[in-house]
Amino acid sequence: MADISKLIERLPEIEQSRMVASGFGVWVSWKGDLNTAVENTLREYGCLLLAQDNGQALWFCNTPELFRALARLQIWARVNPMPVLCEAVPLTFLVGYEMEFSVSLSAELDRQDSRVPDDFEVVIHPKLKGKINSIPGLSTEALGKVDGLASVEWLKLQADQGLDYETIRKWYFIIKPLGNMSDRESIMGWREFSGEILALVQRLGLKYVSDVKEGVIFFPLDNFQLLKNFCNEILTLIREIKEDPEREAWPVVMAAVSQENLQFTGDLPKKVGLDWNRLAPDFPHVRFMDGFLLSKWFRINEARYGTDALSLDSWCTIAQKEGGELMEHGTMEVILPNVLLGVDGAECFYCGQKSHGPGDCPSRKLAGVHPNLWQQLSKTDVKAFNKGLIALGEAVSVEEYTSNLLEVMERKDSLESLVARAIYEINSPGQLRMLKLVWRNRNKEWGDGFRQLAPIEGGFVWDALNYLETDDYDNAEELLKSAQLKYPRSYQPHSLWGFCFLETGDMNQALFHWQEAERMSYTPMQQGYFSYLQGRLQEVAGSLKEAINTYKHANTYSPTWIDPVYRQAVCMVKMGFTGQAMDLFSDLIRRDPHIFNRILLDPELDRGRVQLMSSLWEMWAVAREEMQQAKTQVETLIKDISRRFNENHEYFESANEELARLSKLAETNNYVAFRLLIKGVQKFQSDLDGEVKREIQRINGNLEYQSDRIRNVQKEAAWFPFPKLLLEFNKDFNFCVDKINWIKTQNLKDADNFRKALTFLDDVEDRIDTLQGRLVTLRIVRDSTLFVLMLGRNFIWLELVCLGLALVAVPSLIYFTQDVQNNWIIDALREQRWEFAKGLVIILSVLCVAFAAIKSAITFDKRKRELFDQLDEEMRGSAPRRY
């Protein structure tokens, strides 16, 4: 719920007022995001934004222009509904000594709250009824009390739709040099500086009058945006000339006076009632109300001109804010030749120009649509646009427009040909060449409609189309009648009937047949196309509101098709709603940057061209700044790729190719190129991050694998019985361990670390391969040593056992056989006991060796596994260690 007290609390408290003025306030509250048309319209009609909070704002206006603005918004909202409540009330405007401002409201008005309606609504305080009724076309009706608002009998605004309620807030900007214009020095100084001013005025496309005798230059500024832009441009020009030692500025006095009852004649400077000799030089003078409106961008100061009490009609000067607070402003300098603009008459349905009718339009001779023209144009420096347009203007005359233009279009390698073909591509959906494609498409969506085309079917309509293109309307009509008899349910005859009646001047019949074609169409794409043709017909007929609604209807069939939305914006420009149209254009440019170049070249936008070029410049300036950042980022990425990847890496070549393409875009001074560069850098950075992430995952995975391999090497080598002999082996092993541990402890996202990790990983892999090759020899020595040790161990135990048994058995045998006589064996044993013992030891040793070898061979593998498993337990979970 909106609460006006919250807005008033945001305003400063002014104890002592420097200026007090009565006027009108409008409390605006809304749901969601406020349509920019509200803010733009109120400011254009002289309303000053006092305070803004979530979903509400308070504005002040010192003239009844406020009610014209509300009426214009009310009419606008009938076409573009928006949930906004506007409450107009009497308001007192207060200005402090620091140029801060606040308001004073009656007690009944400063504590209001209300809910926002679902549609645009304007409520009027009853005290303002007389002011509204004095404006032609405006009236009020009783509304009564409204919940949440002050307890008064509120009125509802009624606006006559037949009037456009154009604002009368327009200015004449007058520049007058100081000094005596009969003096030679003054003449020479002013001549040089006035040339700079006139160049600026011409660049902005303004009509001017230059009084050579008095040295005065004056010209009209028809809207607030122009006033703001020109004040910025002239102050910037004066500052740049003063800072340049090679250029000289001549002091001038400047003033923006309201047009009101003044005529644009040579004696205008004498009728404005200003004492030029008392004005401060080199600063524009404006009324205080205009100064407050400009205070968002400029610094205002009292001019102290005159003895009357200070009021909103007093004069003040404006200057650029210090410290770069004022954003630089300019305009796109693309000037269309007069041959495309300068003829009065009806618009051509096919191209919108007034130099010819539909039957003579050059587009009828064009074959196929060429959307790739915008791609070609995006590669062209925007400064070259003017060269192409100037050449186009020189090559084409109004008398032989069609033939001259077709000759230009045939020069495919020239700038004038490119811009001419692009201009005729703007409204290609409304031309005959598009009809041929629509007949052959079978898809539902506009974007996919022309990638695959069906073969030509239905001889009658195609022959009729050929006759129409050769201006043979009689034969075309005969064939169309035959086609309707044979195919009564087909949309094709009706679609071509529409173009026949269009070229013969019967607009009503053309509209009827396109409505029938829409009804009989098979796909949403076809329906949207014929709805588009109906909107175009209403547009060229001057029924712009109906055309906007029809274009919206066409857009419902094909939401991804941008042409109906573009035509809506064009209609708004033709109606005078240039600010609102720019909102649509801005959205379209975000969807498709090529719309920027389309606007630059579109002759049908002539009415709002100055304002559009100024608004486009703001987008251009932002894109150019972002482009500079992207260009720097490309240079950084080139270095980063070289630091991060070596030349043999599979990503290196493709990445450098893409960066080379982006670098080339950075050299093209074109808005589309700017946007493609910015988007391309963002995508490349995202792809690079993804590649680095995948590569790091691969490195980590490979690292684990190599760690396992080096552990196996360590396990195998750990049993080598002569470690001091493994100097070269240990050196390679320690290198692998050091590099593996280094990679694991580094931040691999860093380019240098990333590159080193890849290099080290390759070196580690090579050395591990070498180590594993050497392990074959080590393994043989290790296993042999282990077998010998096991053999020795088993032999010793068996030998000890056998010797012990022999030591016991021989004496025992002699002892227990001492009573045995005449036994040669016993006798021999007694006589040669030592020789027998020696032989027994030898025999037992041989047997022990044999048994030890057999046992070792049988238990070798098992024992080896037990020992290695024990080592694995000790090494598991730990990093490989150096030797």
What's the pLDDT tens digit per position in 439-468? 887 777 776 556 677 777 666 888 888 888
Give whichever of 17-21, 137-141, 687-691, 801-805 has the largest mean pLDDT. 137-141
Q: Inform me whether the pLDDT recorded for 588 exceeds 90.
A: yes
What pLDDT, in 10s, does the model give residues 384-435? 888 898 889 888 888 888 889 889 988 878 899 999 999 999 999 999 888 8
Which structure tokens are listed for 694?
């995948």
Q: Inform me whether the pLDDT recorded for 287 exceeds 50.
A: yes
Residue 253 and residue 206: Cα distance in Å, rounded?
A: 19
Q: Inform me whether the pLDDT recorded for 875 exceeds 70.
A: no
**Euclidean distance between the first and the last CA atom of the chain, given in angstroms as a whole number:** 77
Q: What is the mean pLDDT of residues 727-744?
A: 76
Residue 199 and residue 114: Cα distance in Å, rounded?
A: 52
Indicate the average pLDDT of the chain.
83
- Are the C-beta atoms of 109 and 124 separated by less than 8 Å? no
pLDDT for 509 equals 92
What pLDDT, in 10s, does the model give residues 192-218? 888 889 999 988 888 888 887 778 999
What pLDDT, in 10s, does the model give residues 844-868? 788 888 887 887 788 777 777 776 6
Helix, strand, or coil (residue 261): coil
Q: What is the mean pLDDT of residues 242-262?
A: 85
For 797-806, the CB contacts below 8 A with 24+ separation are 798/847, 798/848, 798/851, 798/852, 799/844, 799/845, 799/848, 802/844, 802/845, 802/847, 802/848, 803/841, 803/844, 806/837, 806/840, 806/841, 806/844
pLDDT for 327 equals 40
* Owner of token pair 């034969």: 475
Residue 191 and residue 750: Cα distance in Å, rounded?
A: 61
- Are the C-beta atoms of 605 and 336 separated by less than 8 Å? no
Q: What is the mean pLDDT of residues 700-719?
A: 72
Residue 577 and residue 11: Cα distance in Å, rounded?
A: 31
* Owner of token pair 């053999």: 791
CA within 13 Å, CB half, 544: 17
For 340-348, the CB contacts below 8 A with 24+ separation are 340/392, 340/393, 340/423, 340/603, 341/603, 341/606, 342/398, 343/398, 346/540, 347/539, 347/540, 347/604, 348/540
What pLDDT, in 10s, does the model give residues 62-101? 999 999 999 999 988 888 888 999 999 999 999 887 788 8
Q: Which H or E element spans position 215?
A: none
For residue 121, the cross-strand partners are: 85
What pLDDT, in 10s, does the model give residues 749-799? 776 777 777 777 777 778 777 777 777 776 677 677 777 777 787 778 877
560 vs 705, more confident: 560
Dmax (CA) of the chain: 172
pLDDT-derived band at 325 (thresholds 50, 70, 90) equals very low
Q: Amino acid identity, residue 432?
A: L
Which structure tokens are listed for 441?
């498409």
* Spatial CA neighbour of 880 closest among 735, 756, 700, 765: 735
What pLDDT, in 10s, does the model give residues 635-658? 888 887 777 777 777 777 888 888
* Spatial CA neighbour of 223 closest among 169, 298, 284: 169
Least confident of 116-125, 151-160, 764-773: 764-773
Residue 701 and residue 704: Cα distance in Å, rounded?
A: 5
Residue 495 and residue 878: Cα distance in Å, rounded?
A: 80
Residue 765 and residue 771: Cα distance in Å, rounded?
A: 10
Cα 251 from chain centroid (whole Å): 43
**How do 298-302 and 315-320 pair as beta strands?**
antiparallel
pLDDT for 280 equals 74
- Are the C-beta atoms of 177 and 186 separated by less than 8 Å? yes
For residue 257, the cross-strand partners are: 172
Tell whether the torsion through CA atoms of 200, 204, 210 and 216 is positive or negative: negative
- Are the C-beta atoms of 573 and 612 separated by less than 8 Å? yes
Least confident of 24-33, 369-378, 725-734, 822-831: 822-831
Q: Which H or E element spans position 591?
A: helix 578-591
Residue 281 and residue 251: Cα distance in Å, rounded?
A: 6
Where are the alpha helices (H) located in 451-491, listed in sequence order?
459-469, 473-486
Provide the angle, in degrees to the nearest 10, between the axes of the packed helices 401-410 and 415-425. Answer: 120
Contacts of 507 (CB under 8 A, 6+ apart): 501, 537, 541
Least confident of 193-207, 574-588, 607-621, 794-808: 794-808
Which structure tokens are listed for 11?
């305003």
* Owner of token pair 């020069």: 411
> What Å distances lie between residue 566 and 155, 376, 448, 546, 605, CA to CA?
37, 21, 19, 15, 11
Tell whether the torsion through CA atoms of 850, 851, 852 and 858 is positive or negative: positive
Residue 638 and residue 505: Cα distance in Å, rounded?
A: 61
Q: Inform me whether the pLDDT recorded for 26 exceeds 70.
A: yes
- Are the C-beta atoms of 707 and 879 separated by less than 8 Å? yes
pLDDT-derived band at 25 (thresholds 50, 70, 90) equals very high
How many helices (H) and strands (E) would you count in the chain?
29, 17
Indicate the burial class of 291 (C-beta count within 10 angstroms; 0-12, 13-18, 19 or more).
buried
Neighbours of 520 (CB within 10 A): 19
What pLDDT, in 10s, does the model give residues 464-492? 888 888 888 888 888 888 888 888 888 88
- Are the C-beta atoms of 292 and 101 separated by less than 8 Å? yes
Contacts of 779 (CB under 8 A, 6+ apart): 716
